[in-house]
Amino acid sequence: MSAFTPWTLFVDLGIVAALLLVGKLIRVKVKAVQKMFIPPSLIAGFLGLLLGPEGLNVLPFSSQLGTYSGILIALVFACLPFTSAKVTKEQRGGIGKMWAYSQGGMLLQWAFGGFLGVLLLCKLWPSLDQSFGISMPCGYCGGHGTAAAIGTAFERFGNEDMLTLAMTAATVGILASVLIGMVMIKWATRKGHTSYLSDFSNLPEELKTGLLPEDKRESMGESSCSSISIDGLAFNLAVVVLVAFGGYLVSKGVKLLVPTFELPVFSCAFIIGILVKFVMDKVDVTKYVSKTTVGHLSGTFTDFLVAFGISSIKLSVVMDYIVPLSILLVSGLLFTLAYVFGMGRRMFKGDGWFEKSVFTWGWYTGTMAMGIALLRVVDHEMKSRCLDDYALAYLFIAPVEIALITFAPVAFVNGYGVHFLGIVLAAALLVIGFAALKGWFKKK
């Protein structure tokens, strides 16, 4: 095996870049792909898996293919503090329902998958690890980013299969988010449940192909630096990379001080990002960081993350777990489908319940980007204010999500997996109980 060099990284990156462009071409030209809203990054990942070492072995990927996901997710989390919106007093009441609905569902999905694994699947297949069940919520609600994060964390504790299991769940989740999401949209338009879409066939062409005409293109961000000193994109990229690098140093520093405990790099990057933004706010320099540009950087990292993540799936591991994994993933989809649309109708009835539900379905099973894609199908002018509520509610959801990913591996490795799941279930019931006390559930 040849030594890994910077040129090896360059080759891997070049191959995935070519696959992303091929995926985009397929999205533009193939009508069936347009109707299912399959993103180019997903197509690129499947092509990489088919043509890579786990498939036909045509593409000369390096042996480090699975490592890139851990780096990319650290960069994604480094972007988050700079793209989050501020919450004003006037907006707090409007985001309460979205927070309870989203936070409660996320915790319930974790509890459902975890307990299904521990109480049923591990009994039927004793060789399964106790953490098997949480691969479903890691892949579904977290997407490939969370799958990469928690898979990397479990790898450090010797569980190398979790990365493939979670990545597989994330891939199945994205497909389900699109396919089932589109079925639900067509059903809702027939039943009159959509508030802003009466005919599915009237969707704008740019939503189908993903190509924006000249009159609908938007700026990718303002440049706060003169190019004679440093390019604006380079400045924003430097801030993000520095934050991620700081997270890496903190993670390694903690491991050096406490060898038996290692914090995930992405968690540390998020914390460092919050601290850096706090300092920048105090000295009034945050205004030089473009929220729009950093958001596009986050999207870029995510696209490459999905492509690399799917390409690195180990098919042999998937086949070893195919039966219990199928039971877990199908059960998770049914549970999520029932919660998202059942609870959504009760909580948001008369207030764009379907638009908010289909968006939540997208990010509960795929990614926030998939949720936005489905939302734009039924509300392409964003009149429901769903994203406004979600963006603010996510400020309170994100810390919980990061805590789940950070402490789940530690809990399961040390034999406290059931205790961890019990806490998660109790937290979910507390959130839903709080919503009931606030009178947020409407009668049918």
* Residue 210: inside a domain: no
Phi, psi of 73 (to 5 degrees): -70, -30
Both 59 and 165 in a single domain?
no
List pLDDT tens digits, range 90-140.
545 557 888 899 999 999 999 999 999 999 999 999 989 999 999 999 888
* pLDDT > 90? residue 431: yes
Question: At residue 381, does pLDDT exceed 80?
Answer: no
Asked if residue 248 is part of any domain, the answer here is yes
pLDDT for position 121 = 95
- Point out the domain boundary residue: 17, 42, 65: 65
72 assigned to some structural domain:
no
Tell me, yes or no, whether 26 and 149 share the same domain.
no
Share of the chain above pLDDT 70, in %: 85
pLDDT at 18 exceeding the cut of 90: yes
Distance CA 58, CA 48 (A): 9
Q: Which structural domain, as residue segments, surrounds residue 26?
A: 7-65
Total domains in the fold of the chain: 2
pLDDT value at position 372? 67
Q: Is residue 212 part of a domain?
A: no
Backbone angles phi, psi at 222, to 5 degrees: -90, 150
Q: What is the pLDDT of residues 290-316, one digit of tens each?
A: 888 888 888 888 788 878 877 877 777
Give residue 77's pLDDT. Answer: 78
Query: Is there a single domain that holds both residue 61 and residue 102?
Result: no
- Structure token digits, residue 38: 């399959």
Q: Which amino acid is at 80?
A: L
The C-alpha angle 9, 242, 64, rounded to 5 degrees, equals 20
Is there a single domain that holds both residue 58 and residue 165?
no
Give the pLDDT confidence score for residue 382 in this predicted structure.
58
315-344 confidence digits (pLDDT tens): 777 788 889 999 999 999 999 999 999 998
d(CA 427, CA 240): 32
Considering the domain architecture, whether residues 61 and 123 belong to the same structural domain is answered as no
> How far is it, in rounded angstroms, from Cα 361 to Cα 439?
23
Same-domain check for residues 183 and 241:
yes
Q: 160: number of CA atoms within 13 Å, CB side?
A: 7
Asked if residue 383 has pLDDT above 80, the reply is no
Residue 77, domain member (yes or no): no
**388: pLDDT strictly greater than 70:** no
Q: What pTM, to 2 d.p., does this model score?
A: 0.69
Confidence of residue 354 (pLDDT cuts 50, 70, 90): confident
**Residue 365 included in any domain:** yes
| Tokens matching residue 71 | 């780096």
Asked if 129 and 265 sit in the same domain, the reply is yes
Q: Are 59 and 112 part of one and the same domain?
A: no
Residue 208 CA to chain centroid, in angstroms? 22
**Calpha distance 274→82 (Å, rounded):** 8
The mean pLDDT value of the chain amounts to 82
CA distance 207 to 296: 18
Query: pLDDT category, 205, cuts 50, 70, 90?
Result: low
110 and 28 assigned to the same domain: no
CA 260 to chain centre: 29
pLDDT value of residue 369: 63
pLDDT band at 175 (very low <50, low <70, confident <90, very high): confident
| Domain membership flag for residue 412 | yes
Of these ranges, 82-86, 276-280, 292-296, 382-386, the one predicted with the greatest mean pLDDT is 276-280
Please report, as a single letter, which amino acid is at residue 229: S
182 and 130, same domain (yes or no): yes
Within a domain: 275: yes
Q: Rounded to whole angstroms, how far apart are CA atoms 153 and 268?
A: 13
The helix or strand, by DSSP H or E, that contains position 140, with its residue range, turns out to be helix 135-140
pLDDT over 90, % of the chain: 25
Over residues 250-275, mean pLDDT? 79
Whether residues 45 and 170 share a domain: the answer is: no
Do residues 398 and 353 both lie within one domain?
A: yes
